[in-house]
Amino acid sequence: MKGFVCGAMAACVSLCASAAGAADIKAKVSYLDFLYANTASGTYGGYAGVGHPDFNSWNCGLTTGLVQSTLVNRKPVYGPNGSQCIAGPAAFASWFKSVPGINVPVRGTLTLSDIGGGVHQYTNPAFYPLDGKGFNTTGDQSDQDCSDGVTPHNFAFTMQAHWTGEVTSTSQYISITADDDTWLFVNNHLIVDLGGVHGASTGSYTFSIPNMVAIGISLNQPVAFDLFHAERHTCASTFTLTTTLTP
């Protein structure tokens, strides 16, 4: 991802590029850990908290329109189809905002490996970055993966990343495969909508001239990228990001 510029972001961590390997991208991200719906108020992993109604409660499948098509202050907003898979605007407001007693912030890193041909990729079919962290520090609230059946994992968290980059070619693309909710915005416009509680699903976007015109960007100009993801139901978690936007 060319020309990343790190900037201060409230309640989140900017996504930046640095040398992680020969030509890898090391991306800083921000997580928020949650407790399952109907979890009684108490202390979990050393943190006071109570269950959030949107985690381990819905089973709506892939549902678009859960968020608005544009961001407000680089945050997603409850959308026209929100009631199909979200408890309401108030509940959604804490998904990507640190709220003591509701979630626990944790910082992390994703490494996008150079897989050749100008392509960088992060892929993890067992995506459990908050195992043993947040409310799960002492093993509270954990379930087994469907394909494992042995190892306990943390299935209730959100992730976000914010960066500034440049598109340098009309053949460049970005693709995401994930479960559950995943949204990618460019220049505040929604370009990948994988909302809902669902199995691994893929969304992609090529920066062709018509697509760039539609979201108000041009080649070789700084543009804002904003990624939001939520893991909110057992019993699998996967995340893959593939792109030809290069450093």
For the whole prediction, is pTM greater than 0.75?
yes
What confidence score (pLDDT) does residue 5 get? 30
pLDDT cut 90: percent of the chain above it: 87
From CA 122, how far away is CA 21, in angstroms rounded? Answer: 13
Structure token digits, residue 73: 């202050």
- Model confidence pLDDT, tens digit, residues 44-62: 999 999 999 999 999 999 9
C-alpha torsion sign, points 186, 213, 194, 237:
negative
Domain limits, the chain:
25-164+182-201+210-243
What confidence score (pLDDT) does residue 12 get? 33
- Model confidence pLDDT, tens digit, residues 105-156: 999 999 999 999 999 999 999 999 999 999 999 999 999 999 888 899 999 9
- CB burial of 220-229 (b: ≥16 within 10 Å; e: otherwise) equals eeebbbbbbb
